[in-house]
Structures are given as structure tokens and as C-alpha cells.
Amino acid sequence: FADQINKPASDVIKKLMFLKIMATKNQSIDRENAELLAMEYNLDLQDEVVTDLTRFEEIIETDKEEDLVSRPPVVTIMGHVDHGKTTLLDTIRHSRVVSTEAGGITQHIGAYQVEKNGKKITFIDTPGHAAFTEMRARGARITDIVILVVAADDGVMPQTREAIDHAKASQCEIIVAVNKMDVPGANPDRVKQQLADLGLLSEEWGGDIPFVEVSALKNQGIDNLLETIQVVAELKELKANPNRQATGSVIEARLDKGRGPVATILVDNGTLRVQDYFAVGATYGKVRAMTNDLGDQIKEAEPGQAVEIIGLNDVPLAGDPFRVFEDEKTVRDIADERQNRAFDKQHNSKEVMSLEDFFNQASDDTKKMNLIIKADVQGSIEAFRGSIGKIDVEGADIDIVGTGVGAVTDGDILLAEASSAIIIGFGVGVPASVRELAKEKGVEIRTYRIIYEALDDIEAAMKGMLDPVF
Ligand code: GDP
């Protein structure tokens, strides 16, 4: 009952005691008592369907095959600092077929579209994985394809590895853009080799990752890159139904002095229209006006398109889910309920993924343990990987979602949060600021000197026999 009305069980139990009914946390209650309780909460039990709508991001769409049309792929550019992400985004933006109307003054709204061979591609305009991971941590699955930029004169660097981990964890397709091909000393084969060592084998070498050589600065190879994106997108068969109310995610949001809260919404299904009522994150609104990436006022936005909207009651967060509903009352009620829930969540301790509670995971299927391994030397990572593969506990699986040499970083915490992973460190430090972030995000970090101690703990956790740490 508590779950259904999104109130803490302790609160419900208190109310029940007040009604002279003794109950424990794991007990269900009968209809009569449910009605009494509903009165206490000023809820109408008939309204339960509406309560469900408050979890609108979990609604699973079912569209008939004949209603589906293909939608543009959504692409994010990642890679090491200074390898040319921003330059590449700018060059691609300028390669667009500019619509002649309105002068086509491009405007930064967090995403833009280009057209190639009559088909559109949507680029997320914030390079790097910080934004990407923040959004994913909030459950947003925005990106279809990650362009991994690697400078041909520099090769694979730490953030290249991080970007690969993020891209893999999000199950996006990866295309490698080997950039700075114009620089003397550019060595694309070395990049290919380094990435092959990390499990990204190029198509020319018999793998399935497209590699495209470009110079973002000199505008070389860009057409080829765009065409490769379209080939990859085609294989993914990205489809959406434009004839339904829009759903999507927030890419950016801010408070504008003149216009109030402003948000860029990436529509992932349906068509968004001016005057639509919507719920977004823990707030709501009515679309008063929409602006596209060219600064044009538009009346409709289709799947795969990003638009800046005004008419929100509050500023949502990047990655927040968005959905259009019939009327104002519905979206207001949903937002109210979601605000309460956010409040409850803040005041009840956050769900933490840790070794200790691994075994208590509520799961009927195989329990899954995600790990991020950090070590002082690469050898330890390989040794750990080798031994962990030998642990075999029925009903439990281990997945290593990331590895790296060096101290635990903020980036590791964000990846752990987004993938519900535990961080295991060997002979590495954890800076105080990183520890602080881990605490805030509810991420467990365990550090060990010796590999087999970690293996023992993990095996024990999988079997549900871990001694608690004090
Ligand atoms: P970001 O940190 O990954 O966004 O990298 P930037 O796009 O800011 O690029 C870093 C530096 O590399 C800038 O000075 C760019 O002008 C330069 N750069 C980017 N792409 C190329 C390229 O294809 N060739 C050359 N020679 N320089 C480039």
C-alpha cells in the first residue's frame, strides 16, 4: 500500500497505529483498511491509476508497426580534452544545409540538427561525458551513437578510456573519429592498435567498429563521418510514432531573466506542439512557445528533434523525463506527487548499492554485481579480471563496467552511479573530495592492498555471507 501511494512505510504504519491497527512493514492490508488510510491521506482509491501516471517515465509505449516512421539518430561526441570535440561539433554545425529563411542564425539550445542526403542527424551540443553521465544517472537514454574522438597525434588518453567505458555501459553504438589527420606525425594506425587493445576493433581489421579519419579544423572527412553515422543509424532501425503525445527528456534547462524557466527538450516519441500540457521532472507546464536550433519559432517538434520551450513552472534538471498529458489538472497533480516523492527521498536515506546489500537485492532472476576496478598498475587489473572470471556462484553474475589506472576520480563515481556499480581499488588513493561525492551519490568504494582479499569479499557477498565492516 505504501508503495502504491508513494509514501514511506513507516509513515503508513504510524497512521495505522493511529487507527488502532497494528501492522508491520512487510504486511499487506485489506480493502477496508486501505480505504480508511486513503481517507487519512485525502486520496481517492479510484485515483490509483492517476497515481501510477506519476511514474510516467516507466510507461512502456506500444506503437503499432504501421504507425512507426524512422527518426533521426541522436549523437554525442566524447573523447579526451583537446582532441577536438568542440571543433568537430562546430565544423559539423557549419556543414549543415542552412535553411535560408529567418537568416538561419544558429542558436545554442543544447542540440542541433544537420541534414545529409535528405536525412537528419541530431547532435547533442555539449561534448564530454560529464553531461552524458549525469543524464544517464537520471535514467535518460538519449544518445543512440557515440562519436569517440581520438587525436591521431596523441592517441588514446585517460579520458578516451573513460569515454569508452561510458559508451559501452550505455549500450550506444560507437564510431571512432580519428581527428587531426592534418597534423604532421598523425598516426592513425597507432590509434587503431591502441583501441584494439581496449576491445574496439576497427572494421578494416575484422571488427565491427567504424573508424573515420577526419580533420575537424580543416573540414576534411566530415562528409564521410556523417555518412557513417547514417549507415550505423540505419542498422539500428530507429523508429518513432509521430501521431501520439510527445515524450522526451530535458537536455538543458535554465532560468532566463525575461522569459522565466527555459528548457530544451529532445522529443523521443510523438509530436510536441505549442499549447501542449506536460509533466517534466518534478514540475509541469504548458508549451507557450518553441524555438528550434536556428532560432526559428516553430509550432511542432517531431521525434529526434530538440526544441527550446517556455511555459514551465520551474526549472527541471538535465536528464529529467518529459511527457505530454491531456489537461492542466493531470500535469499539476503529477508534479505535486513527484515533488512529494522527491522530498521523501531526500529525507529517507538514499538507496545505496554496496557489497553488503548485494545479496538482499530484490531480484527474482540472476543478481548482477557491477564493478569498477581502479589499480596502481595495469597488471593488477588484469590479474583481478582473470581471477574474478573463475568465481562461480549460482544466481549471481559479475560485470566489470570500467577499469583504470590511478586514483579514484569524480568520473568513476558518476559512472558507478549511472551503472549502480561498486568501486574496487587496489593500492590507489581516494581524494577527500571524491569520497565526499561518493557519499552524496551513494556509491560504495572499497580499497584493498591484496587482490585475493577483494576476491574473498566479493565471493562472500555473492553468497550472502559477507561480514559487515565496522
Ligand atoms: P576539445 O577539448 O576536445 O573540445 O578540443 P577543441 O575542439 O577545443 O580542440 C583543441 C585544440 O585542437 C584547438 O586548438 C583546436 O584548434 C585544435 N584542433 C581541433 N581539431 C583539429 C584538427 O583536426 N587539426 C588540427 N591541426 N588541430 C585541431
**Is residue 64 predicted with pLDDT exceeding 90?**
no
Highest mean pLDDT among 23-37, 126-140, 309-323: 309-323
Tell me which residue has its CA closest to atom 9 in ligand 1: 84
Block residue for cell numbers 509530436: 271
Distance 147 CA to ligand 1 centre (A): 15
Amino acid at 206: G
Asked if 284 and 277 touch (Cβ cutoff 8 Å), the reply is yes
Average pLDDT on 326-335 reads 93
How far, in Å, CA of 240 to CA of 19, rounded? 50
Percentage above 90 pLDDT, the chain: 49
C-alpha distance across the termini of the chain, in Å: 34
**Is residue 82 predicted with pLDDT exceeding 80?**
yes
Q: What is the pTM of this model?
A: 0.70
Q: Is 86 annotated as a binding residue?
A: yes
pLDDT band at 393 (very low <50, low <70, confident <90, very high): confident
Percentage above 70 pLDDT, the chain: 83
pLDDT band at 306 (very low <50, low <70, confident <90, very high): very high
Please report the pLDDT score of residue 151 as a whole number: 98
Atom index in ligand 1 nearest the CA of residue 83 equals 3
Residue 29, classified by CB atoms within 10 Å of its CB into exposed (0-12), middle (13-18) or buried (19+), is middle
Q: Is 127 annotated as a binding residue?
A: yes
pLDDT band at 59 (very low <50, low <70, confident <90, very high): confident
- Give whole-number Cα distances, 26 to 51, 361, 433, in Å: 21, 16, 38
Pocket lining: 53 vs ligand 1, CB cutoff 6 Å = no
Range with the poorest average pLDDT among 41-45, 121-125, 292-296, 452-456: 41-45
Please report the pLDDT score of residue 270 as a whole number: 95
Question: How does pLDDT run across 151-168, given as a tens digit for each residue?
Answer: 999 999 988 998 898 888
Amino acid at 56: F
Higher pLDDT, 352 or 291: 291
Range with the poorest average pLDDT among 40-44, 171-175, 298-302, 452-456: 40-44
**Is residue 182 predicted with pLDDT exceeding 50?**
yes
Q: Which long-range contacts (CB under 8 A, 24 or more apart) does 112-119 make?
A: 112/293, 112/306, 113/72, 113/293, 113/304, 113/305, 113/306, 114/226, 116/223, 116/226, 116/227, 116/230, 117/227, 117/230, 119/72, 119/230
**Is residue 105 predicted with pLDDT exceeding 70?**
no
**Is residue 366 predicted with pLDDT exceeding 60?**
yes
Please report the pLDDT score of residue 23 as a whole number: 67
Distance 413 CA to ligand 1 centre (A): 28
Q: Which of 77, 81, 82, 215 to mutate to test the pocket of ligand 1 (most atoms within 8 A of CB)?
A: 82
Higher pLDDT, 21 or 146: 146
Average pLDDT on 176-182 reads 98
Please report the pLDDT score of residue 408 as a whole number: 93
Please report the pLDDT score of residue 450 as a whole number: 85
Question: How does pLDDT run across 409-464, given as a tens digit for each residue?
Answer: 988 998 888 888 899 999 898 999 999 999 988 899 999 988 888 988 888 888 77
Pocket lining: 180 vs ligand 1, CB cutoff 6 Å = yes
Please report the pLDDT score of residue 360 as a whole number: 66
Q: Which of 92, 125, 217 to mutate to test the pocket of ligand 1 (most atoms within 8 A of CB)?
A: 217
Please report the pLDDT score of residue 92 as a whole number: 94
Mean pLDDT (the chain) is 85
Higher pLDDT, 132 or 352: 132
Q: Is 108 annotated as a binding residue?
A: no
Question: How does pLDDT run across 222-268, given as a tens digit for each residue?
Answer: 999 999 999 999 999 999 999 999 999 999 999 988 899 999 999 99
Pocket lining: 84 vs ligand 1, CB cutoff 6 Å = yes
Question: How does pLDDT run across 3-43, given as a tens digit for each residue?
Answer: 666 677 777 777 777 776 666 666 666 666 777 777 777 76
ipTM of the complex as predicted:
0.99
Please report the pLDDT score of residue 49 as a whole number: 36
